[in-house]
Amino acid sequence: MEVINPGWTQKDIDEQIEKFRLKKYVVFDYLTMFQKIFKAQYNIEKELTINNIYPSISYEDINSRIKKGLPVLEANNIHFDEKLLTSLLKDISNILSDYPFSEDFFVNNLTESLIFHSLILYEMILNMLYNNQKYFKDLSERLGVKSSMILFFGKALSAPFLRCCAKTLIKHINLESMKINRCPVCGGIPMMARLLKGDGKRLLECSLCNSQWVFARLMCPFCLNEDQNTLSFIFIEEDSEHRLDTCDQCKMSIKTLDERKQEEKGLDTLIVEDIATIYLEILAVKKAYLSLKDPL
Ligand SMILES: [Zn+2]
Ligand SMILES: [Zn+2]
């Protein structure tokens, strides 16, 4: 079984966003805000090449890491250029400051704090990739900013680098029949799932590098629960293409694009579907399921 790189261009993203313009369940301004963020990320990604940001790794090394249950990328070895990170941070902050959606987006507060506390962005990203929860808790207290906001920036800034590595490495990964619930490329948690039209296979997409891989249909990707009495899904009448898969054992939920319910098949990158279906996350919180947007 292969790992898949959805590989999109800015034009694909723009066309996909346009399709959501008249959908009632979409907050279109929120989507266009992310359209600008995707563009800022893409502008960095298209200038990067893996040779400049990651040491060369053999096919054997890749698959021996996978067999040991390790992600292919060793986070320490990724060269995150601090200047590029800072410039992307400024771009994203400028975009966000035009859209005061919620208290989570008190962005100026964060950027000023980052400068004032001379935070090293590269360090923040490494702590995110190594899932150092204490770091996020401490930093959140020190800066007076929610840890979900810091995590948002960690993801947004690292994405161009991780996507660049993933695009190349993905071709060499052989997952066979392994059930992996973390991204085989970078170790990230899944952001969203996709049910394919033809064979109904379920793909998970990484929240960090956007690689996709096949996962069991009837299993919680967070706690690996298979008890069908505690696994369920919710959707609203106005939008049958998307649903929220829930697990009552770990209280996690994951949004799914059900391609079997789609009339026409487009590229449908999940980074756009994720933003367009923010209403499902609100529904998840209402039903007391945990949010993927908080540090786990
Ligand atoms: Zn990944
Ligand atoms: Zn679960």
Q: Where are the beta strands (DSSP E) in the chain?
A: 190-195, 202-206, 212-215, 231-236, 239-247, 253-258
What pLDDT does residue 41 have? 94
Q: Could you write out the DSSP letters of every residue in 163-208?
A: HHHHHHHGGG---TT----S-TTT-PPEEEEEE-TTT--EEEEETT
pLDDT of residue 284: 92
Which of 116, 183, 109 has the alpha carbon at shortest distance from 144? 109
CA of 48 to the centre of ligand 1 (A): 17
Please identify every residue whose CB atom is under 5 Å from ligand 2, which is an ion. Answer: 220, 222-223, 225, 247, 249-250
- pLDDT at 43 (0 to 100): 92
Q: Which ligand has the minimum distance to the alpha carbon of residue 185? A: 1
Neighbour tally for 59: CB within 10 Å: 11
Q: Are strands 190-195 and 202-206 parallel, antiparallel or unpaired?
A: antiparallel
pLDDT number for residue 72: 93
Dihedral of the alpha carbons of 88, 92, 95, 98, in degrees to the nearest 10:
-130
* pLDDT on residue 263: 80
Looking at residue 219, the DSSP 8-state letter turns out to be S
Q: How far is the CA of 136 from the centre of ligand 2 (A)?
A: 24
Centroid of ligand 1 to alpha carbon of 41 (angstroms): 16
Cα of 126 to ligand 1 centre, how many Å?
14
Output the pLDDT for position 290. Answer: 83
Q: Which two tokens stand for residue 218?
A: 């009837």
269 with 16: CB under 8 angstroms? yes
Q: pLDDT value at position 98?
A: 83
Q: How many Å separate Cα 253 from the centre of its chain?
A: 14
Specify the amino acid at residue 77.
Answer: N
Q: How many A from CA of 94 to the centre of ligand 1? A: 27
Which numbered ligand comes closest to the C-alpha of 246? 2
Tell me the ligand closest to 251's alpha carbon: 2
Of 165, 208, 203, 199, nearest in space to 74 by CA = 165
Q: What's the pLDDT at 12?
A: 86
Report whether 192 contacts 274 (CB < 8 A).
yes
Q: Which residue has the tokens 């979900």?
A: 148
DSSP-based three-state secondary structure for 118: coil
Cβ neighbours of residue 199 closer than 8 Å, sequence gap 6 or more? none
Element (H, E) at 140: helix 133-143
Residue where the block lists tokens 């800034």: 157
The DSSP bridge pattern shows strands 212-215 and 202-206 to be antiparallel
Look at residues 81, 78, 84, 80 and name the one whose alpha carbon lies nearest to residue 55.
78
CA distance 225 to 233: 14
Residue 143 near residue 135, CB atoms below 8 Å: no
8 A C-beta contact, residue 284 and residue 143 = no
How are beta strands 239-247 and 190-195 bridged, if at all?
A: unpaired
| Mean pLDDT in consecutive groups of 10 residues from the start of the chain, 296 residues | 68 90 91 94 92 93 89 95 92 84 57 71 93 90 83 93 92 71 91 91 93 92 95 93 96 95 81 93 90 61
Nearest to 139 by CA among 155, 161, 120: 120
Residue 88: closest CA among 153, 166, 17, 18: 153
